[in-house]
């Protein structure tokens, strides 16, 4: 990657905005100086047209560029939640162990089903006729 490509866009906007505003200020000062030496309005118009008006436009353009530089997000994106990154990918559910159910529930779950993890009240299905859990799919299709 070249050095020019490595410079952040916001830095380029900032410095070009400052340069445009400074150049506009110089043109305004030159226009004012030229106008101040002329007594008649018709002799002041060339200074207005060639220095003061373009200088004011450059000052406005420079202010817009500086504001655009400050509006850009120059911070690197924040990392996602650490818990989401540390969670290993889910493997296929295990068929080992008896099927479980929650008291009063209508679904049969594998022992490692996320819907019953951490629920100590889960009991074995036994002889009950239950529908298979759509998450862990305890029976083959």
- The predicted-structure confidence for 3-55, as pLDDT tens digits, reads as follows 444 357 788 888 999 999 999 999 999 888 888 888 888 888 888 888 888 99
**What is the rounded CA–CA span in Å between residue 122 and residue 133?**
14
User: pTM (2 decimals)?
Assistant: 0.46
pLDDT in tens, 91-138: 444 557 788 888 888 888 888 888 888 888 888 888 888 888 888 888
Q: How many CA atoms lie within 13 A of 75 on its CB side?
A: 4
- Report pLDDT for 65: 92
pLDDT of 59 strictly over 90 = yes
pLDDT confidence tier of residue 86, bands split at 50, 70 and 90:
low
Q: Given a cut of 60, is residue 84 above it in pLDDT?
A: no
Ramachandran class of 104: left when φ > 0, alpha when ψ lies in -120 to 50, beta otherwise = left
pLDDT of residue 138: 80
Q: Indicate the range of 43-47, 59-63, 66-70, 91-95 predicted with least confidence.
A: 91-95
Q: Is 136 exposed, middle or buried (0-12, 13-18, 19+ CB in 10 A)?
A: buried
């Amino acid at each position: 990657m070249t050095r020019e490509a490595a410079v952040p866009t916001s830095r380029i906007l900032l410095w070009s905005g400052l340069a445009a505003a400074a150049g506009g200020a110089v043109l305004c000062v030159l226009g004012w100086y030229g106008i101040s030496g002329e007594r008649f309005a018709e002799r002041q118009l060339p200074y207005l047209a060639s220095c003061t008006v373009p200088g004011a436009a450059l000052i406005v353009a420079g202010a817009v560029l500086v504001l655009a530089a400050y509006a850009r997000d120059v911070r690197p994106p924040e990392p996602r939640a650490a818990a989401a990154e540390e969670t290993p990918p889910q493997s296929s559910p295990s068929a080992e162990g008896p099927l479980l159910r929650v008291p009063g529930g209508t679904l049969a779950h594998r022992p490692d089903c996320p819907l019953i993890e951490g629920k100590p009240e889960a009991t074995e299905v036994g002889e009950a006729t239950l529908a298979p859990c759509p998450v862990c799919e305890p029976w083959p299709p």
